[in-house]
Amino acid sequence: MFKKFLIFILCLIPWFLNNILPIDYKYFNQLSLPFFTPPTPFYSISWILIYILLAITIYNIFISYKFKEIPISYKISLLINYLFNQSYPILFFNLKNPFLGLISATGIFISTLFLYEETSLLESKQSKLLTPYLLLSLFALVLSISIYLIN
């Protein structure tokens, strides 16, 4: 039981690494924002839920398959998605660059599509847990496009 819990925590913690860096919300609030921009707490709550769902999905795949049995295409999709996901706050908030944020948001959405597909090939039930991530990354992409265009 403890081993399974530890594996789950190891699947969850890396997604929160980008939260170590401070977020400059003053910069965000100084931008011209589209009318459909949700309140700031929406992001914290939604991303926490997304990271938990991601960790559950990854955990279930890792306990269903030996690491060597997991296709390289899944591992690459997961890694690329992770890197884009972690890059967004650095590029958008720390570098204060809406264009690079848009590039990162585009990468997140596209890599989430691939991750969803790769997950569905391994565990179709687990891929359903990625649906909120897919929707949120699409929303984040639309929001990023809007922010870039109006600033």
Could you tell me what percent of the chain has a pLDDT over 70?
Answer: 100
Q: Which residue range is the domain that position 8 belongs to?
A: 2-150
The pTM (predicted TM-score) of the whole model is 0.93
Tens digit of pLDDT at every position of the chain (151 positions): 888 899 999 999 999 998 888 888 889 889 999 999 999 889 889 999 999 999 999 999 999 999 999 999 999 999 999 999 999 999 999 999 999 999 999 999 999 999 999 999 999 999 999 999 999 999 999 999 999 999 9
Closest among 107, 69, 67, 65 to 85, alpha carbons compared: 107
CATH of the domain at 61: 1.20.1260
**Dihedral angle, C-alpha 129, 140, 92, 36, nearest 10 °:** -140
Residue count (the chain): 151
User: Measured between alpha carbons, how far is residue 6 from residues 56, 58, 63, 66, 101 in Å?
Assistant: 12, 13, 12, 17, 33
pLDDT score for 2: 87
Number of domains in the chain: 1
